[in-house]
Amino acid sequence: MREAQLHPEFYELQGHVQYVVERIRGKEWSSSCPECGGSPHPGGEWPDRFRMFPAAHSKTGISIGWCRVCGFKWLPDREFKPDPEKLEKWKRERIVEEERRKAEAEQALQLLRDEKKWEFYTGVLDFCDEGRAYWKGAGIVDDLWWREWGLGWDREHEFWVDSDGWKKHTTPTATIAERNLDGEIVNVKHRLINPQPDGVKYRMEYSVGFEPVFIANLQLCNDADWAFLVEGEKKAAVTWLTFDQAKVQAFGLPMSPSLELLEQINAGHICYIPDPDVQPWALKRIKEAYRDRDLKILRLNQKVDDYIQGAGIDRDSFRAIVKQARRV
């Protein structure tokens, strides 16, 4: 992933923040924090603790940056008065960068469609005991679902890691077909059985430049009226299989889903099951995204898939537990 360009209103932060991402086009940017820093997450996601809102899209009416971890707030030294020449240059550069990103994403998507790597990885499970044991241990026992969801295995996947110079890292990986909200496969996610030296445990096959999700009920996709929201693919799969209701959906979200992605989910009735260590800002974002929906939050003392598997929770027991979710 390449860094996005900072909005001109945040020029003062140039060189003080890294891993810049334009979260909502023209409205919100994220990055490391100029005060407390931040590095890529173990899953490979860039740090997004520091949020920047230009004046036109800030609740305060002025340019502002805020860190969700340390609470640091940034305000410009003086009122932003755009230099017409610099602003025009920034707009031209942004158009060029946006066109480049679109071209790279389209190229990656075309490669994905042509290669259909997820089918190859799923096929490996037909003769690989290690891969089959992994998915059965994850709570997805029936190979029907391996094929339905594009789950698979790669015995020896090679990654290049920038660790004191570029080095090759080879490891078995569990693979998952990632989709957009229409159900189209847009990437393949690798869960590294042996994490990289820098701790990264997840890598994507392609760089497509947008957020994919895991969709458990491919018959409904984004047309479900009732949906579970959880973090990650395995949790969504186990949650949906255990609840066992054809009219219900379960979405596996990325670690830090954008507000834009959350708002695109159409369900009118939502049950959010966060991890036990969920951050307050993450809960706040869910509440903000669904303030006009029927939202319930189910807090468990374990990750939902571990809870279900560890306690041997069956369908009726899980449905009873879900009824205890707190309406927001």
CA 180 to chain centre: 11
What is the rounded CA–CA span in Å between residue 47 and residue 8?
Answer: 21
C-alpha dist (Å) from residue 153 to 88, 157, 276: 48, 9, 29
C-alpha dist (Å) from residue 159 to 118, 145, 153, 205: 17, 27, 15, 10
Give residue limits of the domains in the chain.
Answer: 8-82, 214-328
User: 20-33 burial, b if ≥16 CB within 10 A, otherwise e?
Assistant: bbbbeeebbbbbbb
* Residue ranges in the chain whose pLDDT is less than 50: none
pLDDT attached to residue 26: 77
pLDDT attached to residue 90: 67
pLDDT attached to residue 81: 58
pLDDT attached to residue 44: 64
Give the length of the chain: 328
pLDDT attached to residue 105: 67
Alpha helices for the chain (secondary structure H): 84-115, 117-124, 129-137, 143-149, 233-243, 259-264, 280-289, 304-311, 315-322
CATH fold of 214-328? Dna Topoisomerase Vi A Subunit; Chain: A, domain 2 (3.40.1360)
Structure tokens at 271: 């049950």
Q: Which residues contact 218 (CB under 8 A, 6 or more apart)?
A: 148, 149, 183
pLDDT attached to residue 157: 94
